[in-house]
Amino acid sequence: MSDPSSGTVLHDPRRFRIIPERDGLDTFRSTGIRIYGYIKDEDRQSYSLLPDSFDKQTILYRWTDWDVPASVEEPKKSVEALAGYFAGVD
């Protein structure tokens, strides 16, 4: 996720140009994500996929845009002790 407030995600187009250091990442606006599970055995010969095919659609988790993080600033418990200490310093 490059900008969670707008649902913008990083995308690696894997163009592999002649000058690889110029093959940068793109961004695009995503409507949400789907989650799949992939398990590979130790022998690396067999695997399990949940659901059993990428053709099957899982539930799409959609996000909504926001412009203000849901957070509250609170002073740390040590603020009063530090304020008292620095009040006596010349």
Report yes or no on whether pTM surpasses 0.95. Answer: no
Give residue 48's pLDDT band: very low, low, confident or very high (50, 70, 90): confident
Q: First CA to last CA across the chain, in angstroms?
A: 48
Q: Which residue has the higher pLDDT, 20 or 82?
A: 82
Count of domains forming the chain: 1
Distance CA 17, CA 22 (A): 7
Q: Is residue 3 part of a domain?
A: no
Distance CA 33, CA 7 (A): 10
* Mean pLDDT on 1-22: 73
Share above pLDDT 90 across residues of the chain, in percent, rounded to a whole number: 0
Torsion angle of the four alpha carbons 37, 1, 21, 14, in this order, in degrees rounded to the nearest 10: 40
Q: Is residue 82 part of a domain?
A: yes
Range of the domain at 25: 8-87
